[in-house]
Chain A
Amino acid sequence: MKILVAISNVPDTTAKIQFTEGNTQFNTAGVTFIINPYDEWYALVRALELKEANLAEQVTLIHVGLIDSEATIRKGLALGADDAVRIDSAGPDAFSVAEQIANYAKSNTYDLILVGKETINFNGSSVGGLIAGVLDLPFVSLATKLDINSNKATIEHVIDGGSQIVECELPLVISCAKGMAEQRIPNMRGIMAARTKPLTVISATNQTNLTSITSYVLNPGRTTCKMMNEDNLDELVKLLHTEAKVI
């Protein structure tokens, strides 16, 4: 069985968010980029676990991005992925990213395509469903557990007000959430091995931009926190009613 794991290159969780060029671009100056945590902790690590359990032969990373994201891809290889593909495109929107990944997957048969539940920069939760839509494959979202038994996946995933266990024959696309696996830290051997693992760069095919971002604005933070005395909580309740108007 071959697993394709889609990874995104995102600003570190604690990065300062600023915009440039008239608020049309994210300001990358001084920002550390990482593998999108959901892609790494849940999708990639679960894929590696399946390989370690001899349920998969190959774990391939796929990333749509420019050359500056190769350090992030190498980190995924250091964690244990066998090889990686970078599709050379800035990935202007979720659909174009999904379309590139789907086109690659179409000509290189994979049994399982794993993505994280969302990216921490665009929070769209859409690439997994888009890939499945383009390839006309089944899609299970927000998976918290995944097991493989011969040609069948057993998945527990989040539904409204609970969870459900489903079975689906391969191939399929799964978006991964908390519970799938635990975060790992690459070891020195992995980091050394990653340097020589194959990272293939392929050019983007026909690109469709269904959406584009025209501008960004930072959301105003909360400016002042009114401190209340614990012996005068009637005042807090009054303010929640008259000032905040939430009760």
Chain B
Amino acid sequence: MSVLVYTEINKGRVKKASLECINYGAKIAELTGTSVTAFVNHANQEQLEEIGLAGASKIISVKNDALKSDSMLLSAAMEQVAKLEKSKIIIFAFDVNGKAIAPRLSAKLKAGLVSGAVDYPVINGDSFEVNKIVFSGKATATYQINSDIKIIALLPNSFPLSSGQNNSTIVDLDIDLSNVNSKIIIKEIKSDNVVGMIPLPEAELVVSAGRGLKGPENWGIVEDLASSLGATTACSRPVADLHWRPHHEHVGQTGVAIRPNLYIAIGISGAIQHLAGVNGSKTIVVINNDKDAPFFKSADYGVIGDAFSILPKLTSAIKKFKQNQN
């Protein structure tokens, strides 16, 4: 009857979004008087420890090379584990892989799926309700899940990460994938090659710039500001389309949707499509030389003026603040 959480390792770390799901699953287990089981493939001792600290009471540890990134295989693996664990609640992160695996599992188990949940479920007898963001961030809908088994895909950065004591037991499991007719052949993997920077969907601090920067050669001051904060850099759609910055940095409706704690937008006017990808940010700072830029209406703090003079000043103010903190 455990709450089952799909957990992933990426670039040598347990994904932050997965750890959030374990925290989230632990809270639901507490609400429902059950326990939380994490499923993970190819985790080492240190990673298993991290999963335990996030609140998993049991870790189903699989070492299966056939379990590659094909939602058909991953969904089949989760289906087997869910049956074994008799799980009634299954949690995924609402990220690249969760978006592919959770719907497939939902169809297989005839389990109602709420994708992009932002709150803990409210459970009242047979009623099971979860809130999710709709209309590209403009509204929240309360979903009732009617099926016996329930799947929730949790929007990353919905809750701060917490870590406690590791009381987990590790169970090694063999997954049988012989009946799965996977037809996807991976030919080439292209990495974004961002060394040492937190990936955008996981970033808590993001510094983003738009056409107001006038050209790719001017990004030095944006990167300086980002590195003073330990933030990840992003950009608006025109900037990615003009190839001033790589496409994976593009945030907005057609690019990546993010919800960091702090989003600093520089020289971005704030078109509705851009806002749709960033309006979930907790705090928004807008820097623009046009006092009528629509983005100011969706910001918490604004600075009107020339980015080329403001950015170096802001970077040194942050450095000074960091020094005083130490």
- Using CB atoms and an 8 Å cutoff, list the residues of chain A in contact with chain B: 11, 13-14, 17, 19, 38, 93-95, 98, 120-130, 132-134, 138-142, 154, 158-169, 172, 177-179, 208-219, 221-222, 225-231, 233-234, 236-241, 244, 246-247
- Residues of B within 8 Å of A172, CB to CB, are 183
A-B contact list, 14 entries, CB within 8 Å: A98-B103, A130-B107, A141-B71, A141-B100, A159-B96, A164-B69, A166-B184, A167-B185, A172-B183, A178-B254, A215-B141, A216-B139, A218-B139, A233-B317
- Residues of A within 8 Å of B34, CB to CB, are none
Cα A90 to Cα B16 with chains together (Å): 38
B133 at the interface (CB under 8 A from A): yes
Given known A17-B139, A162-B192, A240-B301, contact A126–B129 (CB-CB < 8 A): no
Cα A94 to Cα B115 with chains together (Å): 10
Name A's interface SS: mixed
Q: Are A129 and B99 neighbours in the complex by a CB distance under 8 Å?
A: yes
Q: Are B192 and A225 neighbours in the complex by a CB distance under 8 Å?
A: no
Cα A140 to Cα B104 with chains together (Å): 12
Total residue contacts A-B, CB cutoff 8 A? 271
Given known A219-B137, A246-B282, contact A165–B187 (CB-CB < 8 A): yes
Name B's interface SS: mixed
Report A64 CB to chain B, min CB distance, Å: 15
B199 at the interface (CB under 8 A from A): yes
B272 at the interface (CB under 8 A from A): yes
Cα A38 to Cα B255 with chains together (Å): 11
Q: For residue B70, which residue of chain A has the nearest CB?
A: A138
Cα A127 to Cα B297 with chains together (Å): 34
Report B5 CB to chain A, min CB distance, Å: 17
Cα A204 to Cα B15 with chains together (Å): 41
Q: Which of B236-291 contact A (CB under 8 A)?
A: 247-248, 250, 253-255, 261-262, 272-273, 276, 279, 282-286
- Residues of A within 8 Å of B234, CB to CB, are none
Q: Are B296 and A126 neighbours in the complex by a CB distance under 8 Å?
A: no
Cα A141 to Cα B191 with chains together (Å): 17
Q: Are A212 and B72 neighbours in the complex by a CB distance under 8 Å?
A: no
Q: Which of B156-196 contact A (CB under 8 A)?
A: 182-192, 194
B80 at the interface (CB under 8 A from A): no
- Residues of B within 8 Å of A165, CB to CB, are 186-190
